[in-house]
Chain A
Amino acid sequence: MATKDKEWISIPMTVDVPYRFAAGGYMTKCLTELRDNGKIFAVECPKCKRVQLPPRVVCAECHVKNEKWVELPHEGTLMNFTIMYLPLTDPTTGKPHEPPFVYGSVRLDGATSVLDHMVEVEPDMDKVWVGMRCRLVLRPKEERIGDLSDIRYIEPLPGQKKPQTKSR
Protein backbone atom coordinates (compact mmCIF):
# COMPACT_ATOMS: atom_id res chain seq x y z
CA MET A 1 0.00 0.00 0.00
CA ALA A 2 1.10 3.53 -0.69
CA THR A 3 2.24 5.41 2.35
CA LYS A 4 1.38 9.06 2.79
CA ASP A 5 4.87 10.31 3.60
CA LYS A 6 6.64 8.88 0.57
CA GLU A 7 7.12 10.87 -2.61
CA TRP A 8 5.90 9.31 -5.86
CA ILE A 9 6.89 10.83 -9.17
CA SER A 10 4.28 11.01 -11.92
CA ILE A 11 4.91 12.57 -15.29
CA PRO A 12 2.25 14.70 -16.98
CA MET A 13 2.00 14.28 -20.73
CA THR A 14 -0.46 15.25 -23.42
CA VAL A 15 -0.66 13.07 -26.50
CA ASP A 16 -2.16 14.92 -29.41
CA VAL A 17 -2.91 12.65 -32.34
CA PRO A 18 -4.29 14.42 -35.41
CA TYR A 19 -6.78 12.62 -37.63
CA ARG A 20 -8.56 13.24 -40.90
CA PHE A 21 -11.35 10.71 -41.44
CA ALA A 22 -12.57 9.70 -44.87
CA ALA A 23 -16.37 9.65 -44.76
CA GLY A 24 -16.49 6.93 -47.38
CA GLY A 25 -19.03 6.25 -50.09
CA TYR A 26 -22.21 6.07 -48.01
CA MET A 27 -21.60 8.94 -45.62
CA THR A 28 -20.32 11.18 -48.39
CA LYS A 29 -23.66 10.86 -50.20
CA CYS A 30 -25.58 11.34 -46.95
CA LEU A 31 -23.62 14.42 -45.91
CA THR A 32 -23.59 16.07 -49.34
CA GLU A 33 -27.38 15.65 -49.63
CA LEU A 34 -27.73 17.17 -46.17
CA ARG A 35 -25.41 20.07 -46.98
CA ASP A 36 -26.56 20.83 -50.53
CA ASN A 37 -30.25 19.92 -50.49
CA GLY A 38 -31.18 19.78 -46.82
CA LYS A 39 -32.30 16.17 -47.27
CA ILE A 40 -31.89 13.17 -44.98
CA PHE A 41 -31.02 10.01 -46.87
CA ALA A 42 -30.95 6.52 -45.40
CA VAL A 43 -30.45 3.08 -46.96
CA GLU A 44 -33.03 0.31 -47.11
CA CYS A 45 -31.89 -3.30 -46.86
CA PRO A 46 -33.05 -5.27 -49.91
CA LYS A 47 -33.79 -8.28 -47.71
CA CYS A 48 -35.19 -7.21 -44.34
CA LYS A 49 -36.28 -3.72 -45.52
CA ARG A 50 -34.87 -2.02 -42.44
CA VAL A 51 -34.31 1.67 -43.18
CA GLN A 52 -30.90 2.42 -41.71
CA LEU A 53 -29.60 5.81 -40.68
CA PRO A 54 -26.76 6.68 -40.90
CA PRO A 55 -26.44 4.85 -44.21
CA ARG A 56 -23.85 2.08 -44.25
CA VAL A 57 -22.41 -0.42 -46.67
CA VAL A 58 -23.82 -3.63 -45.20
CA CYS A 59 -27.03 -4.58 -43.40
CA ALA A 60 -25.62 -6.15 -40.27
CA GLU A 61 -28.54 -8.56 -39.87
CA CYS A 62 -28.65 -9.89 -43.42
CA HIS A 63 -25.05 -9.25 -44.48
CA VAL A 64 -26.14 -8.00 -47.88
CA LYS A 65 -24.90 -4.84 -49.52
CA ASN A 66 -27.15 -1.82 -49.08
CA GLU A 67 -27.88 -0.17 -52.41
CA LYS A 68 -31.33 1.40 -52.17
CA TRP A 69 -31.50 5.00 -50.98
CA VAL A 70 -34.56 6.33 -49.17
CA GLU A 71 -35.29 9.95 -48.34
CA LEU A 72 -36.63 10.43 -44.83
CA PRO A 73 -38.96 13.18 -43.59
CA HIS A 74 -37.65 15.61 -41.01
CA GLU A 75 -40.34 14.67 -38.48
CA GLY A 76 -40.29 11.83 -36.03
CA THR A 77 -40.86 10.61 -32.48
CA LEU A 78 -38.59 10.99 -29.46
CA MET A 79 -37.70 7.46 -28.35
CA ASN A 80 -35.73 8.43 -25.25
CA PHE A 81 -33.81 11.35 -23.81
CA THR A 82 -31.71 12.59 -20.96
CA ILE A 83 -31.06 15.93 -19.36
CA MET A 84 -27.30 16.23 -19.31
CA TYR A 85 -25.72 17.98 -16.33
CA LEU A 86 -22.11 17.27 -17.34
CA PRO A 87 -20.16 19.74 -19.51
CA LEU A 88 -19.13 17.18 -22.10
CA THR A 89 -16.48 18.22 -24.58
CA ASP A 90 -17.25 18.06 -28.28
CA PRO A 91 -14.05 16.52 -29.67
CA THR A 92 -14.70 18.00 -33.11
CA THR A 93 -14.53 21.55 -31.70
CA GLY A 94 -12.76 21.05 -28.36
CA LYS A 95 -15.51 23.08 -26.70
CA PRO A 96 -17.89 21.85 -24.01
CA HIS A 97 -21.65 21.64 -24.48
CA GLU A 98 -22.92 23.91 -21.70
CA PRO A 99 -25.12 22.01 -19.24
CA PRO A 100 -27.86 21.46 -18.56
CA PHE A 101 -29.07 20.45 -21.98
CA VAL A 102 -31.43 17.84 -23.35
CA TYR A 103 -30.06 15.10 -25.50
CA GLY A 104 -32.26 12.47 -27.12
CA SER A 105 -32.93 9.90 -29.82
CA VAL A 106 -35.52 10.61 -32.49
CA ARG A 107 -36.93 8.01 -34.84
CA LEU A 108 -37.68 9.82 -38.07
CA ASP A 109 -40.93 8.56 -39.61
CA GLY A 110 -40.20 5.55 -41.80
CA ALA A 111 -36.75 4.88 -40.30
CA THR A 112 -35.77 1.78 -38.38
CA SER A 113 -32.84 3.54 -36.71
CA VAL A 114 -32.85 6.44 -34.30
CA LEU A 115 -30.87 9.65 -34.61
CA ASP A 116 -29.16 11.01 -31.47
CA HIS A 117 -28.98 14.78 -31.16
CA MET A 118 -29.53 17.79 -28.93
CA VAL A 119 -33.20 18.50 -28.18
CA GLU A 120 -34.06 22.20 -28.12
CA VAL A 121 -36.36 22.32 -25.09
CA GLU A 122 -36.00 23.62 -21.58
CA PRO A 123 -34.25 21.07 -19.35
CA ASP A 124 -37.50 20.44 -17.51
CA MET A 125 -39.15 17.04 -17.07
CA ASP A 126 -42.55 18.51 -17.93
CA LYS A 127 -41.34 19.84 -21.27
CA VAL A 128 -39.87 16.62 -22.68
CA TRP A 129 -41.12 13.04 -22.73
CA VAL A 130 -40.73 9.73 -24.53
CA GLY A 131 -43.18 9.74 -27.43
CA MET A 132 -42.95 13.48 -28.05
CA ARG A 133 -43.27 14.42 -31.73
CA CYS A 134 -40.27 16.33 -33.06
CA ARG A 135 -38.65 17.73 -36.17
CA LEU A 136 -35.11 18.46 -37.26
CA VAL A 137 -33.86 22.02 -37.51
CA LEU A 138 -31.05 22.50 -40.01
CA ARG A 139 -28.52 25.27 -40.38
CA PRO A 140 -29.37 27.77 -43.12
CA LYS A 141 -28.12 26.47 -46.44
CA GLU A 142 -25.28 28.96 -46.82
CA GLU A 143 -23.85 27.95 -43.42
CA ARG A 144 -23.92 24.21 -43.95
CA ILE A 145 -20.53 22.47 -44.04
CA GLY A 146 -21.27 18.78 -44.65
CA ASP A 147 -21.17 17.18 -41.24
CA LEU A 148 -23.70 16.22 -38.59
CA SER A 149 -23.66 19.73 -37.12
CA ASP A 150 -25.64 20.83 -40.19
CA ILE A 151 -28.53 19.46 -38.15
CA ARG A 152 -28.58 22.05 -35.37
CA TYR A 153 -30.98 20.23 -33.09
CA ILE A 154 -34.27 18.41 -32.70
CA GLU A 155 -37.25 20.54 -31.64
CA PRO A 156 -40.74 19.55 -30.46
CA LEU A 157 -43.60 20.01 -32.91
CA PRO A 158 -45.78 22.84 -31.58
CA GLY A 159 -49.09 22.31 -29.78
CA GLN A 160 -48.25 19.18 -27.74
CA LYS A 161 -48.71 18.52 -24.05
CA LYS A 162 -47.04 15.88 -21.95
CA PRO A 163 -49.47 12.97 -21.42
CA GLN A 164 -50.31 12.16 -17.80
CA THR A 165 -48.93 8.81 -16.64
CA LYS A 166 -49.05 6.81 -13.42
CA SER A 167 -45.41 7.21 -12.54
CA ARG A 168 -43.62 10.50 -12.96
Chain B
Amino acid sequence: MTERVAIVGVAQTRFAPKRSDVNYGEMAYEAISQVLKDTGLALPEDIDSAISCSHDIWDGQTISDIGITDVIGGHLRAEEKMAMDGSTAVFYGAVGILSGEYSCTLIMAHTKMSQTNRHIVNNVAFDPIYTRMLGFDFTSAAALQARRYMYKYGITREDAARVVVKNLANAKRNPCASQSGDFTVADVLSSPAVAPPLHKLDIAPDADGAVALILASEERARKITDKPVWILGIGTCYDAHYLGDRDLADTFALEKAAGRAYAMAGIKNPRRSVDLAEVGDEFSYQELLWLEGLGLCDRGEAGRFTASGATAIGGKLPVNPSGGLLSGVPANVAGLNRVAEAALQLRGEAGDRQVRGANIAVAQGHTGFCGQHQCVVVLGN
Protein backbone atom coordinates (compact mmCIF):
# COMPACT_ATOMS: atom_id res chain seq x y z
CA MET B 1 0.00 0.00 0.00
CA THR B 2 1.33 3.40 -0.88
CA GLU B 3 -0.76 5.10 1.78
CA ARG B 4 -1.13 3.63 5.21
CA VAL B 5 -4.12 3.13 7.46
CA ALA B 6 -3.85 2.75 11.21
CA ILE B 7 -5.98 1.50 14.05
CA VAL B 8 -5.89 4.38 16.51
CA GLY B 9 -8.25 3.14 19.20
CA VAL B 10 -10.08 0.07 20.41
CA ALA B 11 -12.80 -0.48 23.00
CA GLN B 12 -14.85 -3.52 23.92
CA THR B 13 -17.76 -4.17 26.20
CA ARG B 14 -17.61 -7.00 28.66
CA PHE B 15 -18.94 -10.13 26.94
CA ALA B 16 -21.68 -11.89 28.86
CA PRO B 17 -24.19 -14.67 28.23
CA LYS B 18 -27.04 -12.16 28.58
CA ARG B 19 -27.16 -8.39 28.88
CA SER B 20 -30.72 -7.75 30.03
CA ASP B 21 -29.78 -4.25 31.24
CA VAL B 22 -29.21 -2.71 27.80
CA ASN B 23 -30.74 -2.78 24.33
CA TYR B 24 -28.32 -3.22 21.47
CA GLY B 25 -28.01 0.51 20.81
CA GLU B 26 -27.07 1.19 24.42
CA MET B 27 -24.66 -1.73 24.37
CA ALA B 28 -23.02 -0.33 21.24
CA TYR B 29 -22.76 3.06 22.92
CA GLU B 30 -20.74 1.54 25.79
CA ALA B 31 -18.01 0.58 23.32
CA ILE B 32 -18.34 3.73 21.19
CA SER B 33 -18.22 6.20 24.09
CA GLN B 34 -15.18 4.38 25.50
CA VAL B 35 -13.21 4.45 22.26
CA LEU B 36 -14.01 8.16 21.81
CA LYS B 37 -12.84 8.84 25.34
CA ASP B 38 -9.64 6.82 24.89
CA THR B 39 -8.71 8.56 21.64
CA GLY B 40 -9.92 12.02 22.65
CA LEU B 41 -11.97 12.19 19.46
CA ALA B 42 -15.45 13.68 19.33
CA LEU B 43 -18.51 13.03 17.23
CA PRO B 44 -19.46 14.42 14.84
CA GLU B 45 -16.51 16.68 14.11
CA ASP B 46 -13.52 14.31 14.27
CA ILE B 47 -14.91 11.26 12.51
CA ASP B 48 -16.19 11.34 8.94
CA SER B 49 -17.70 7.93 8.41
CA ALA B 50 -18.96 4.91 10.29
CA ILE B 51 -19.34 1.23 9.50
CA SER B 52 -21.51 -1.04 11.57
CA CYS B 53 -21.54 -4.78 11.51
CA SER B 54 -24.53 -6.87 12.52
CA HIS B 55 -27.44 -8.81 11.10
CA ASP B 56 -31.14 -7.94 11.02
CA ILE B 57 -32.06 -11.46 11.97
CA TRP B 58 -29.88 -11.44 15.07
CA ASP B 59 -31.04 -7.94 15.99
CA GLY B 60 -34.75 -8.62 15.39
CA GLN B 61 -34.95 -5.31 13.59
CA THR B 62 -35.33 -4.72 9.88
CA ILE B 63 -32.44 -2.55 8.60
CA SER B 64 -30.93 -2.85 12.05
CA ASP B 65 -28.42 -0.04 11.73
CA ILE B 66 -31.48 2.09 12.52
CA GLY B 67 -30.95 1.08 16.15
CA ILE B 68 -27.37 2.38 16.24
CA THR B 69 -27.63 5.41 13.90
CA ASP B 70 -27.75 7.86 16.82
CA VAL B 71 -24.98 6.35 18.92
CA ILE B 72 -22.56 5.82 16.02
CA GLY B 73 -22.93 9.43 14.89
CA GLY B 74 -24.91 8.63 11.74
CA HIS B 75 -27.30 11.58 11.96
CA LEU B 76 -26.89 13.61 8.73
CA ARG B 77 -23.68 11.72 8.04
CA ALA B 78 -22.28 8.59 6.42
CA GLU B 79 -22.85 5.21 8.00
CA GLU B 80 -22.76 1.90 6.17
CA LYS B 81 -23.79 -1.47 7.50
CA MET B 82 -22.10 -4.71 6.56
CA ALA B 83 -23.92 -7.92 7.28
CA MET B 84 -20.74 -9.91 7.68
CA ASP B 85 -18.21 -10.87 10.29
CA GLY B 86 -16.58 -7.81 11.85
CA SER B 87 -13.15 -8.55 10.37
CA THR B 88 -14.52 -7.59 6.95
CA ALA B 89 -15.60 -4.21 8.31
CA VAL B 90 -11.92 -3.51 9.00
CA PHE B 91 -11.15 -4.53 5.42
CA TYR B 92 -13.80 -2.18 4.05
CA GLY B 93 -12.94 0.60 6.50
CA ALA B 94 -9.31 0.52 5.32
CA VAL B 95 -10.47 0.64 1.69
CA GLY B 96 -12.65 3.69 2.42
CA ILE B 97 -9.69 5.60 3.87
CA LEU B 98 -7.33 4.52 1.05
CA SER B 99 -9.92 5.78 -1.46
CA GLY B 100 -9.43 9.30 -0.13
CA GLU B 101 -13.15 9.68 0.64
CA TYR B 102 -12.65 9.42 4.39
CA SER B 103 -9.84 10.13 6.82
CA CYS B 104 -11.20 8.71 10.06
CA THR B 105 -13.73 5.88 10.34
CA LEU B 106 -15.53 4.46 13.36
CA ILE B 107 -16.20 0.73 13.09
CA MET B 108 -18.54 -1.06 15.45
CA ALA B 109 -19.92 -4.59 15.63
CA HIS B 110 -22.59 -5.75 18.04
CA THR B 111 -24.84 -8.74 18.62
CA LYS B 112 -27.09 -9.92 21.42
CA MET B 113 -27.25 -13.62 20.82
CA SER B 114 -29.36 -13.94 23.97
CA GLN B 115 -32.40 -12.29 22.42
CA THR B 116 -33.12 -15.04 19.90
CA ASN B 117 -32.37 -18.63 18.97
CA ARG B 118 -29.00 -19.47 17.46
CA HIS B 119 -30.17 -22.67 15.77
CA ILE B 120 -32.98 -20.96 13.88
CA VAL B 121 -30.77 -18.05 12.84
CA ASN B 122 -28.04 -20.44 11.71
CA ASN B 123 -30.48 -22.65 9.86
CA VAL B 124 -31.80 -19.84 7.65
CA ALA B 125 -28.27 -19.23 6.37
CA PHE B 126 -28.64 -22.53 4.50
CA ASP B 127 -30.16 -22.28 1.04
CA PRO B 128 -33.94 -22.69 1.27
CA ILE B 129 -34.34 -25.13 -1.62
CA TYR B 130 -31.73 -27.81 -1.08
CA THR B 131 -30.12 -28.11 2.37
CA ARG B 132 -32.19 -26.04 4.80
CA MET B 133 -34.83 -28.66 5.36
CA LEU B 134 -32.17 -31.05 6.62
CA GLY B 135 -32.19 -28.88 9.74
CA PHE B 136 -28.54 -27.89 9.67
CA ASP B 137 -27.12 -25.24 11.95
CA PHE B 138 -23.51 -24.03 12.09
CA THR B 139 -22.66 -26.59 14.77
CA SER B 140 -23.88 -29.59 12.81
CA ALA B 141 -22.12 -28.32 9.67
CA ALA B 142 -18.97 -27.81 11.72
CA ALA B 143 -19.22 -31.37 12.99
CA LEU B 144 -18.94 -32.55 9.38
CA GLN B 145 -15.95 -30.31 8.87
CA ALA B 146 -14.31 -31.52 12.08
CA ARG B 147 -14.87 -35.17 11.12
CA ARG B 148 -13.44 -34.66 7.65
CA TYR B 149 -10.43 -32.77 9.03
CA MET B 150 -9.77 -35.53 11.59
CA TYR B 151 -10.08 -38.20 8.91
CA LYS B 152 -7.90 -36.52 6.32
CA TYR B 153 -5.14 -35.16 8.55
CA GLY B 154 -5.19 -37.45 11.56
CA ILE B 155 -6.24 -34.70 13.96
CA THR B 156 -7.69 -36.14 17.18
CA ARG B 157 -10.34 -34.94 19.61
CA GLU B 158 -7.52 -34.53 22.12
CA ASP B 159 -5.70 -32.18 19.73
CA ALA B 160 -8.82 -30.02 19.52
CA ALA B 161 -9.44 -30.26 23.27
CA ARG B 162 -5.98 -28.78 23.93
CA VAL B 163 -7.14 -25.64 22.11
CA VAL B 164 -10.08 -25.36 24.50
CA VAL B 165 -7.89 -25.89 27.56
CA LYS B 166 -5.41 -23.24 26.38
CA ASN B 167 -8.02 -20.67 25.35
CA LEU B 168 -10.18 -20.93 28.45
CA ALA B 169 -7.05 -20.60 30.61
CA ASN B 170 -5.97 -17.56 28.58
CA ALA B 171 -9.45 -16.09 29.05
CA LYS B 172 -8.85 -15.95 32.82
CA ARG B 173 -6.50 -13.06 32.04
CA ASN B 174 -9.07 -11.25 29.86
CA PRO B 175 -11.53 -9.09 31.81
CA CYS B 176 -13.91 -8.99 28.81
CA ALA B 177 -14.25 -12.77 28.53
CA SER B 178 -17.63 -14.38 29.06
CA GLN B 179 -16.28 -17.76 30.16
CA SER B 180 -12.89 -18.96 31.37
CA GLY B 181 -11.33 -21.43 33.73
CA ASP B 182 -8.94 -24.26 34.35
CA PHE B 183 -10.08 -27.24 32.37
CA THR B 184 -8.32 -30.45 31.41
CA VAL B 185 -8.39 -32.34 28.14
CA ALA B 186 -10.51 -34.93 29.97
CA ASP B 187 -13.03 -32.22 30.94
CA VAL B 188 -13.45 -31.25 27.31
CA LEU B 189 -13.73 -34.84 26.10
CA SER B 190 -16.31 -35.67 28.76
CA SER B 191 -18.43 -32.55 28.32
CA PRO B 192 -21.85 -33.39 26.84
CA ALA B 193 -21.86 -34.44 23.20
CA VAL B 194 -23.64 -31.92 20.97
CA ALA B 195 -22.79 -33.02 17.44
CA PRO B 196 -19.96 -35.51 17.70
CA PRO B 197 -17.08 -35.09 17.39
CA LEU B 198 -18.06 -31.70 18.84
CA HIS B 199 -18.87 -31.59 22.52
CA LYS B 200 -20.14 -28.68 24.57
CA LEU B 201 -16.74 -27.22 25.43
CA ASP B 202 -15.62 -27.45 21.79
CA ILE B 203 -18.25 -24.88 20.85
CA ALA B 204 -18.11 -21.11 21.38
CA PRO B 205 -20.97 -20.21 23.74
CA ASP B 206 -23.65 -17.59 23.03
CA ALA B 207 -22.73 -14.11 24.20
CA ASP B 208 -23.83 -10.47 24.07
CA GLY B 209 -21.42 -7.64 23.45
CA ALA B 210 -19.96 -4.97 21.17
CA VAL B 211 -16.57 -3.84 19.93
CA ALA B 212 -15.66 -0.41 18.55
CA LEU B 213 -12.50 0.48 16.70
CA ILE B 214 -11.28 3.64 14.98
CA LEU B 215 -9.27 3.67 11.75
CA ALA B 216 -7.42 6.74 10.50
CA SER B 217 -5.26 7.82 7.59
CA GLU B 218 -1.56 8.09 8.32
CA GLU B 219 -1.73 11.86 8.60
CA ARG B 220 -4.65 11.75 11.05
CA ALA B 221 -3.25 8.77 12.95
CA ARG B 222 -0.02 10.56 13.80
CA LYS B 223 -2.00 13.34 15.44
CA ILE B 224 -4.37 11.05 17.33
CA THR B 225 -1.97 8.56 18.90
CA ASP B 226 1.71 7.84 19.42
CA LYS B 227 0.93 4.12 19.23
CA PRO B 228 -0.74 3.59 15.84
CA VAL B 229 -1.18 -0.01 14.74
CA TRP B 230 -0.71 -0.18 10.99
CA ILE B 231 -2.82 -2.29 8.68
CA LEU B 232 -0.11 -3.93 6.58
CA GLY B 233 -2.24 -6.29 4.56
CA ILE B 234 -5.85 -7.26 3.99
CA GLY B 235 -7.48 -10.02 1.99
CA THR B 236 -10.81 -11.78 1.66
CA CYS B 237 -12.18 -14.74 -0.27
CA TYR B 238 -15.43 -16.65 -0.75
CA ASP B 239 -15.56 -20.44 -0.85
CA ALA B 240 -18.48 -22.40 -2.33
CA HIS B 241 -21.80 -22.47 -0.45
CA TYR B 242 -22.97 -26.05 -0.77
CA LEU B 243 -21.08 -28.29 1.63
CA GLY B 244 -20.97 -30.96 -1.06
CA ASP B 245 -19.02 -28.62 -3.34
CA ARG B 246 -16.18 -28.38 -0.86
CA ASP B 247 -13.69 -30.72 0.70
CA LEU B 248 -14.37 -29.37 4.17
CA ALA B 249 -10.84 -30.21 5.34
CA ASP B 250 -9.46 -27.87 2.69
CA THR B 251 -8.78 -24.21 3.40
CA PHE B 252 -9.11 -22.88 -0.14
CA ALA B 253 -10.69 -19.52 0.74
CA LEU B 254 -8.45 -18.88 3.74
CA GLU B 255 -5.29 -19.65 1.76
CA LYS B 256 -6.34 -17.19 -0.93
CA ALA B 257 -7.36 -14.49 1.56
CA ALA B 258 -4.13 -14.95 3.54
CA GLY B 259 -2.04 -15.00 0.36
CA ARG B 260 -3.52 -11.65 -0.67
CA ALA B 261 -2.98 -10.12 2.77
CA TYR B 262 0.60 -11.39 3.09
CA ALA B 263 1.46 -10.19 -0.42
CA MET B 264 0.17 -6.72 0.39
CA ALA B 265 2.17 -6.75 3.63
CA GLY B 266 5.29 -7.93 1.80
CA ILE B 267 5.41 -11.07 3.92
CA LYS B 268 7.06 -13.97 2.12
CA ASN B 269 7.34 -16.40 5.01
CA PRO B 270 4.53 -15.92 7.52
CA ARG B 271 6.04 -18.44 9.94
CA ARG B 272 9.08 -16.26 10.26
CA SER B 273 7.30 -12.91 10.22
CA VAL B 274 4.14 -13.38 12.25
CA ASP B 275 4.56 -13.06 16.01
CA LEU B 276 0.98 -13.55 17.11
CA ALA B 277 -2.35 -14.74 15.75
CA GLU B 278 -5.96 -14.14 16.74
CA VAL B 279 -8.13 -16.58 14.80
CA GLY B 280 -11.83 -17.40 14.61
CA ASP B 281 -12.08 -20.48 16.86
CA GLU B 282 -15.86 -20.73 16.76
CA PHE B 283 -15.23 -24.44 17.24
CA SER B 284 -12.10 -25.90 18.84
CA TYR B 285 -10.80 -27.70 15.73
CA GLN B 286 -11.13 -24.46 13.69
CA GLU B 287 -8.18 -22.88 15.49
CA LEU B 288 -6.06 -25.76 14.19
CA LEU B 289 -7.55 -25.72 10.71
CA TRP B 290 -7.19 -21.95 10.34
CA LEU B 291 -3.58 -21.99 11.57
CA GLU B 292 -2.81 -24.37 8.74
CA GLY B 293 -4.80 -22.29 6.25
CA LEU B 294 -2.91 -19.19 7.34
CA GLY B 295 0.32 -21.04 6.55
CA LEU B 296 1.51 -20.74 10.13
CA CYS B 297 2.17 -24.48 10.28
CA ASP B 298 2.10 -27.41 7.84
CA ARG B 299 -1.14 -29.12 6.89
CA GLY B 300 -2.03 -31.68 9.54
CA GLU B 301 0.59 -30.33 11.94
CA ALA B 302 -1.51 -27.90 13.97
CA GLY B 303 -2.40 -30.53 16.58
CA ARG B 304 1.23 -31.33 17.31
CA PHE B 305 2.14 -27.64 17.07
CA THR B 306 -0.42 -26.83 19.77
CA ALA B 307 0.55 -29.81 21.94
CA SER B 308 4.16 -28.55 21.88
CA GLY B 309 3.06 -25.37 23.63
CA ALA B 310 4.01 -23.21 20.64
CA THR B 311 0.62 -21.44 20.65
CA ALA B 312 0.56 -20.66 24.38
CA ILE B 313 1.00 -17.08 25.58
CA GLY B 314 4.71 -17.71 26.21
CA GLY B 315 5.14 -19.89 23.09
CA LYS B 316 6.84 -19.07 19.82
CA LEU B 317 3.53 -18.18 18.11
CA PRO B 318 0.90 -17.25 20.70
CA VAL B 319 -2.58 -17.93 19.28
CA ASN B 320 -5.67 -16.39 20.82
CA PRO B 321 -4.05 -15.09 24.00
CA SER B 322 -7.40 -13.37 24.55
CA GLY B 323 -9.14 -16.70 24.95
CA GLY B 324 -10.58 -16.49 21.46
CA LEU B 325 -14.19 -17.10 20.55
CA LEU B 326 -14.31 -20.16 22.82
CA SER B 327 -14.31 -17.73 25.73
CA GLY B 328 -17.58 -16.28 24.47
CA VAL B 329 -17.68 -13.57 21.80
CA PRO B 330 -20.91 -12.86 19.91
CA ALA B 331 -21.41 -13.80 16.28
CA ASN B 332 -20.46 -10.95 13.88
CA VAL B 333 -18.47 -9.26 16.66
CA ALA B 334 -16.10 -12.22 16.48
CA GLY B 335 -13.73 -11.00 13.78
CA LEU B 336 -13.66 -7.40 14.96
CA ASN B 337 -12.73 -8.73 18.39
CA ARG B 338 -9.87 -10.70 16.74
CA VAL B 339 -8.54 -7.51 15.12
CA ALA B 340 -9.08 -5.50 18.30
CA GLU B 341 -7.24 -8.04 20.44
CA ALA B 342 -4.34 -8.19 17.97
CA ALA B 343 -4.16 -4.38 18.00
CA LEU B 344 -4.16 -4.27 21.80
CA GLN B 345 -1.26 -6.72 21.82
CA LEU B 346 0.76 -4.60 19.38
CA ARG B 347 0.04 -1.49 21.43
CA GLY B 348 1.21 -3.28 24.57
CA GLU B 349 -2.19 -2.70 26.15
CA ALA B 350 -3.32 -6.30 26.55
CA GLY B 351 -2.95 -6.32 30.33
CA ASP B 352 -2.42 -9.73 31.92
CA ARG B 353 -2.73 -11.46 28.55
CA GLN B 354 0.06 -9.35 26.99
CA VAL B 355 2.48 -11.24 24.75
CA ARG B 356 6.08 -10.05 24.80
CA GLY B 357 7.84 -8.52 21.82
CA ALA B 358 5.15 -8.88 19.19
CA ASN B 359 5.60 -6.69 16.10
CA ILE B 360 3.49 -8.40 13.47
CA ALA B 361 0.10 -9.94 14.20
CA VAL B 362 -2.43 -11.67 12.00
CA ALA B 363 -6.17 -11.58 12.69
CA GLN B 364 -8.64 -13.84 10.91
CA GLY B 365 -12.42 -13.84 10.79
CA HIS B 366 -15.00 -15.77 8.83
CA THR B 367 -18.62 -15.46 7.75
CA GLY B 368 -21.00 -18.34 7.09
CA PHE B 369 -20.88 -21.95 8.13
CA CYS B 370 -17.57 -23.84 7.95
CA GLY B 371 -15.75 -20.59 7.27
CA GLN B 372 -17.17 -19.96 3.80
CA HIS B 373 -16.01 -16.34 3.55
CA GLN B 374 -12.61 -15.62 4.99
CA CYS B 375 -10.96 -12.33 5.91
CA VAL B 376 -7.34 -11.86 6.97
CA VAL B 377 -5.88 -8.67 8.42
CA VAL B 378 -2.14 -8.30 9.00
CA LEU B 379 -1.14 -5.69 11.55
CA GLY B 380 2.18 -4.17 12.56
CA ASN B 381 3.38 -1.54 15.02
Chain A residues with CB under 8 A of B129: 11
For A23, list chain B residues within 8 Å (CB).
23
A57 & B25 in contact (Cβ 8 Å cutoff): yes
User: Is A5's CB within 8 Å of the partner chain B?
Assistant: no
Interface residue A27 (Cβ < 8 Å from any Cβ of B)? yes
Q: How far is the CB of A167 from chain B (nearest CB, A)?
A: 33
What chain B residues lie within 8 Å of A59 (beta carbons)?
Answer: 70
Chain A residue, CB-CB nearest to B29: A57
CA separation between A22 and B117, bound complex, in Å? 15
- Docked pose: A15 CA to B26 CA in angstroms: 28
Query: Is A56 a contact of B33 with CB atoms below 8 Å?
Result: no
Assembly CA distance A26 to B73 (angstroms): 19
Task: Give the Cβ gap from A46 to chain B, nearest Cβ, in Å.
Answer: 15
Max chain B C-beta neighbours (<10 A), residue from A20, A24, A26, A27: A24
Encode B110-147 as 1/0 by CB contact (under 8 A) with A.
00100111001100100011001000000000000000
Instruction: Establish whether residues B128 and A65, one from each chain, have CB atoms under 8 Å apart when the complex forms.
Output: no
Asked if B57 is at the interface (CB within 8 A of a chain A CB), the reply is: yes
User: Chain A: interface residue count, which band?
Assistant: 20 to 34
The answer to whether residues A18 and B116 also contact, given A63-B42, A63-B44 and a CB cut-off of 8 A, is yes
Interchain CB contact under 8 A, A25 and B22 = yes
The answer to whether A19 and B70 have CB atoms under 8 Å apart is no
Closest A residue to B60 using CB positions: A19
Give the Cβ gap from A32 to chain B, nearest Cβ, in Å.
14
Majority secondary structure, B binding face: loop
Could you tell me how many residues of chain B have their Cβ less than 8 Å away from some Cβ of chain A? 30
A56-B115 in contact given A13-B128, A17-B57, A61-B75 (Cβ < 8 Å): no
Interface membership of B193, Cβ < 8 A:
no
Chain A residue with minimal CB distance to B26? A24
CB neighbours of B43 from chain A (8 A):
63
Question: Is A24 a contact of B23 with CB atoms below 8 Å?
Answer: yes
Contact B22 A60 (CB under 8 A): no
Question: A98 to nearest B CB, angstroms?
Answer: 24
Chain A hits for B57, CB < 8 A: 17
In the bound complex, CA of A57 to CA of B43 (Å): 15
Is the C-beta of B69 less than 8 angstroms from some C-beta in chain A?
A: yes
Per-residue CB contact flags for chain A residues 14-39 toward chain B (1 = under 8 Å, else 0) read 01111111111111000000000000
Which residues on B sit within 8 Å (CB–CB) of A15? 120, 124
Q: Does A58 contact B (CB under 8 A)?
A: yes
Residue contact A21 to B44, C-beta cutoff 8 Å: no
21 pairs, CB–CB < 8 Å, chain A vs chain B? A13-B128, A15-B124, A17-B57, A17-B120, A17-B121, A17-B124, A18-B116, A18-B117, A18-B120, A19-B60, A19-B115, A21-B60, A22-B19, A22-B23, A24-B23, A24-B25, A25-B21, A25-B26, A27-B23, A56-B70, A61-B75
**Given A25-B22, A57-B26, A63-B42; 16 other pairs, CB 8 A cutoff:** A13-B128, A15-B120, A17-B117, A18-B117, A19-B115, A20-B116, A21-B115, A22-B21, A22-B115, A24-B23, A26-B26, A27-B23, A57-B29, A60-B74, A63-B43, A65-B33
| Interface, chain A (partner B; CB < 8 A) | 11, 13, 15-27, 56-61, 63, 65
